[in-house]
Structure 1
Amino acid sequence: MSIRYGLIGLGMMGRHHARVIRETEGIDLVAVADAMGDPHGVSGDTPMFDSVEGLISAGIDAAIVAVPTKFHEEVGLKLASAGIHTLVEKPVAHNIDAAHRLVNAFEENGLVAAVGHVERFNPALLSLRERIANGDLGKVYQIQTRRQGPFPARIADVGVAKDLGSHDVDLTAWLAQSSYDRVSADTAHQSGREHEDMILISGKLSNGIIVNHVVNWLTPFKERLTIVTGERGAMVADTLTADLTFYENGTIGTSWDAVSAFRGVSEGTVTRFALEKREPLKSEHEAFRDAILGVRHDAVTLREGLETLRVIEASIESGKSGETIRLSDVSAS
C-alpha cells in the first residue's frame, strides 16, 4: 500500500519534488497546493488546492513543504496538528524560535519530520564521508567549502547564508561527525537588498577541525566544492558533477638531512573515484519514505536542521558585530 503524499509549493523546487515523487516506488502524489497557482504545470491530473488546509483535506499521510522559508512555520504547524509526516525544504525555518516550535510540534505528535538538506545524499559527499570515517585521510585538519553563483531571482525572503550557507554548515558537521564550537563571519550587501548576498565564515568544530565557507550570489559562474584536508592528503568533492578526487600526500623518506628535518607534504598520486551517480533528490525522498516506514533512519531530522540554523544565525550575528561567537552561547532550547 502506497503512502499518500501532498506537495505544497509549486515553484522551482516544487516541480522537482513533484517529478521525483511520481518516480519513487511506494508513494503516490494525491494532491498539490499553491496559493500562487501552478506556473510550471506541475499538477497535471492531480487535484490542486490553494492552501495547506485544502491539501490536508485530501487525506494525505505525508507532505513535502516547498513554500518560501517565511511560511515554513505556519504550514508546518498545521501539518503537525493534522498528524501528517512532513519534509520541509531547507532552511528549516526563518528563525530559531520558529524552528523550535516546529521541532516541538512534530516530536510531541510522534511524527517523522525531515528537512531537505539534499547535499547529504550527493554521491560524492556520501563517498567522502565514508572515506573520512574509514581513516583514508588520517587525521583531518580542515574542511573548506565554496558555494557561489549568480543571484536567483526566486529567493527574496532570506539571505545567502540561510539559503545556500545552510547546506555547507550541515554537510560539514555531517562529514566531520562533529558539531560547531565557534564561528566568525563577514557579510556584504552589494546588491541593495535587505539580506546579505555574500558571507565568509571561519570557525572550528568541537573535534578541533578548522572550517571555512565561501558563499555568495555575486559570482558569474556556479561553484559547489567541498575540500577536506588531512595528514594523508586532500579530497575534493564537486557536488555539481558528483565527482570525488583524492590528492595524495606524496611525501616520502629521504636521507638528505636538510630536507628530512622539514616535515611537510608534496604532490602525490591523484585519483578520481568512480561513483554511481544517483540523483540526490531521489535518494532524499527514499530516505524520507523509509523513515516513515521505520526501516532506515538517515533522513535529516528537523532537530538537525535546527542545529544548522543555530550556526547560520550565529554567523550572521558575527557578521554584524565583528565578534567570534561560541555556539554554547546561542540558546539551544
Structure 2
Amino acid sequence: MANLRAGLLGVGMMGRHHARVLREVEGVELVAIADPGGDPHGVAGDLEILPDIEALIAAKIDMAVVAVPTRFHEDAALKLATAGVHTLVEKPIADSTEAGQRMVDAFEAAGLVGAVGHIERFNPALQELRRRLQADELGSVYQIQTRRQGPFPSRIADVGVAKDLASHDIDLTAWVAQSEYATVFGQTTFKSGREHEDMVAITGRLESGVIVNHLVNWLSPMKERLTVVTGEKGAFIADTSTGDLTFFANGTVPLEWESMAAFRGVSEGDVTRYAFAKREPLRVEHEAFRDAVLGRPSDVVTMAQGLRTLVVVEAALQSSHDGAAQRLR
C-alpha cells in the first residue's frame, strides 16, 4: 500500500515538531508544507514552503496537520474538509464553540476523520494511570487535581491561558476518569497587560461525582505539569513533563500515636514509582491519526470530543465573568 500523503500547515514552535514526527511515522510521507511566515526553524528540508492552505491542498494530500494560531483553525479546516482531506488540528479545536461546531459538522458530513491534538491523552504517565484506574487499583475515585503553570510563552497571542493550557487539563481529566463535566466554576486574573486571562482556577464536578480542581497560569517562574488522582486506596501522581507515575498508598500499619492518627485521617503507606515504556506522545498521537485515516481501531481525539472540551472551557470563563457556577448539559 502506498504511503499516505501528508501536508502540514504551520511550522512554528509546534509545527516544527509535527514536521519531524510526520517524517518518522511508518506509512506516512510528508509531501508538502505551507506557512505564510516562511520556515523560521529550518524544518522544510527539500520541500518548498508553500504560501497558503490552497497551495497545500493543491499538492494532492490525503491528510493534513493544522498547526497555526487558533483563530485560523476554522478557515483551514473547512477548506480541507471541502477538499476531502482528513485533518488533525492543534488544540483547542477553535477560538469559539460556534466555530468548533461548524468544523465538527463539516467533517461528519464529508465522512472524513477530523481530530484535535490533545496530546496529553498520549502521555505515557496518563495512559498508565488510566489503565490502573480501569483495573480498580485505586478503588473509588474521589478527586482529580491538576496544576499546569510556568512562564508566559510569547508565541501565544490570540487566546488566553484557559483555552491554550487549561483545555489540556479538562480533556485529560474527563478522559482519565471516563466521565464528562457536570458543573464548573472559574476565576481568572489579568496580570500581564494582555486582553486575555493569564491565570485561571477552575473547580467543578464530573457526572460521576468526582470533584475536580485545575490551577493553570502563565505567571509562574517554575514549570509544573502534575495530575493528582485521590481515591479509596491512596493517590496517583502523574508528572506529564517527565512521564513519571507514582502511587502513594494508604497505610496498613496502625499509628500508635492516637492524636496524630485522628488528625491525619489515613496513615502514610508505601510509595511506588512505576517503570513502564515511555514513547514520545506526539509520535503516538500521529500513529493514532494515521490509523483512524486508514480505518483501523484508533484512540484519536475526535473533533466532537475537542468541541466538548472547548464547551467546558468557555463555561469556566463565563463563570468567571458572572461569578456563578455553570451547569453543563
Structure 2 length-normalised TM = 0.97
Q: CA deviation at 1:308?
A: 0.1
The whole-number CA distance in structure 2 between the counterparts of 1:136 and 1:304 is 27
Q: CA deviation at 1:266?
A: 0.8
1:206 maps to what in 2? 207
2:134 maps to what in 1? 133
Q: Tell whether 2:59 aligns with 1:58.
A: yes
2:22 maps to what in 1? 21
1:313 maps to what in 2? 314
1:37-61 CA distance string (max 9 Å, x none): 1111121111321110000000000
SS in 2 for 1:16: helix
The whole-number CA distance in structure 2 between the counterparts of 1:272 and 1:258 is 30
Matches within 5 A, 1:242-321: 242-252=243-253, 264-321=265-322
1:162 maps to what in 2? 163
Letter in 1 for 2:6: Y
SS in 2 for 1:23: coil
Distance 1:63 1:252, change over 3 A: same
1:3 maps to what in 2? 4
The whole-number CA distance in structure 1 between the counterparts of 2:55 and 2:46 is 16
The whole-number CA distance in structure 2 between the counterparts of 1:204 and 1:251 is 30
CA contact under 8 A between 2:261 and 2:267: conserved in structure 1? Answer: no
The whole-number CA distance in structure 2 between the counterparts of 1:63 and 1:251 is 53
The whole-number CA distance in structure 2 between the counterparts of 1:6 and 1:213 is 35
SS in 2 for 1:53: helix
1:82-139 CA distance string (max 9 Å, x none): 0000000000000000000000000000001110000000000000001111110000
Q: CA deviation at 1:248?
A: 0.4
Q: CA deviation at 1:251?
A: 4.0
The whole-number CA distance in structure 2 between the counterparts of 1:91 and 1:255 is 51
1:183 maps to what in 2? 184
The whole-number CA distance in structure 2 between the counterparts of 1:217 and 1:254 is 42
Matches within 5 A, 1:146-161: 146-161=147-162
1:80 maps to what in 2? 81
Structure 1 length-normalised TM = 0.96
CA contact under 8 A between 2:149 and 2:224: conserved in structure 1? Answer: yes
CA contact under 8 A between 1:182 and 1:205: conserved in structure 2? Answer: yes
1:241 maps to what in 2? 242
CA contact under 8 A between 2:254 and 2:267: conserved in structure 1? Answer: no
1:164-214 CA distance string (max 9 Å, x none): 000000000000000000000110000010000000000000000000000
1:38 maps to what in 2? 39
The whole-number CA distance in structure 2 between the counterparts of 1:64 and 1:254 is 56
User: Where in structure 2 are there 5+ consecutive unaligned residues?
Assistant: none
**Which range is displaced more, 260-269 or 34-43?**
260-269
SS in 2 for 1:278: coil
The whole-number CA distance in structure 1 between the counterparts of 2:222 and 2:234 is 27
The whole-number CA distance in structure 1 between the counterparts of 2:290 and 2:136 is 31
SS in 1 for 2:238: strand
2:107 maps to what in 1? 106
Q: CA deviation at 1:295?
A: 1.4
Distance 1:272 1:104, change over 3 A: same
- Amino-acid identity (%): 63
CA contact under 8 A between 1:251 and 1:264: conserved in structure 2? Answer: no
SS in 1 for 2:147: strand
Aligned length: 328
2:119 maps to what in 1? 118
Distance 1:22 1:252, change over 3 A: same
The whole-number CA distance in structure 2 between the counterparts of 1:73 and 1:259 is 57
CA contact under 8 A between 1:226 and 1:236: conserved in structure 2? Answer: yes
Q: CA deviation at 1:284?
A: 0.2
Letter in 2 for 1:268: G
1:331 maps to what in 2? none
Q: CA deviation at 1:261?
A: 8.7
1:250-306 CA distance string (max 9 Å, x none): 144689999999993111000000021110000000000011111122000000000
The whole-number CA distance in structure 1 between the counterparts of 2:17 and 2:294 is 23
Letter in 1 for 2:221: P
SS in 1 for 2:188: strand
